[in-house]
Amino acid sequence: MAYKNLKHFIDTLEKAGELVRIKTFVDPILEISEITDRISKSPDGGKALLFENTGTDFPVLMNSMGSLKRMCLALGVNELDDIARQIEDLFKMLSKPKEGILDKLAMLPKLGQFASWMPKVVSGKGACQEVVMSNPDLSKIPVIQCWPKDGGPFITLPVIHTKDPHTGIRNVGMYRMQVFDGQMTGMHWHKHKVSAKHYNEYKALKKRMPVAVVLGGDPVYTYSATAPLPENVDEYMLAGFLRKQKVELVKCISQPDIEVPADADFVIEGYVDPEEDLIWEGPFGDHTGYYSLADWYPRFHVTAITHRKDAVYPATIVGIPPQEDAYLGKATERIFLAPIKMAMVPEMVDMEMPVEGVFHNLVIAQIKKDYPGQAQKVMNAMWGAGQMMFNKILAVTDQGTSISDYKSLAQYMFKHLNPATDIYFSQGPMDVLDHSCSKMGFGGKMCIDGTKKYDEETLDSHVQGIQPAAINKAELQKRFPEIKGINDSLFAMDIPCLFLSVQKARPLHVKELNEQLYALPELLGVKMIIFVEHTVDVSDLATTLWRFCNNLDPRRDSFVVRNPVAGQPGKEWTGVGMDGTLKNRLLDGFERDWPNIVVADDETIRKVDEKWASLNIGPFLPSPSLKYKPQMYGEEAVVPQ
Positions annotated as catalytic residues are 286
Q: What is the DSSP letter of 631?
A: G
Distances (CA, A) of 475 to 124, 127, 522: 77, 70, 11
Nearest to 128 by CA among 58, 34, 217: 217
DSSP string spanning 374-441? HHHHHHHHHHTSGGGGG--EEEEE-TTS-SS-HHHHHHHHHHT--TTTSEEEEEEE--TT-TTSSBTT
Nearest to 316 by CA among 33, 6, 608, 78: 33
Q: How far apart are CA 139 and CA 133, in angstroms?
A: 12
Q: What is the DSSP letter of 535?
A: T
- In angstroms, how far is CA 223 from the centroid of its own chain? 13
Query: Sheet harboring 572-580: ordered strands across?
Result: 483-487, 497-502, 528-533, 572-580, 558-564
- Asked if 49 contacts 34 with a C-beta cutoff of 8 angstroms, the reply is no
Preceding amide of 283 cis, omega within 30: yes
Which is it for strands 299-307 and 266-272: parallel, antiparallel or unpaired? antiparallel
At 82, is the secondary structure helix, strand, or coil?
Answer: helix
Exposed / middle / buried, residue 70 (Cβ in 10 Å: 0-12, 13-18, 19+): buried
Four-point Cα dihedral 94, 96, 102, 105, nearest 10: 0
- Asked if 147 contacts 289 with a C-beta cutoff of 8 angstroms, the reply is no
Q: What are phi and psi of 142, to 5 degrees?
A: -80, 65
DSSP string spanning 284-337? EE-TTSBEEPPEEE-EEEEEEEEE-TT--EE-----SSSSTHHHHHHHHHHHTH
Render the burial of 239-260: b for 16+ CB within 10 Å, e for the rest.
bbbbbebbbebbbbebbeebbb
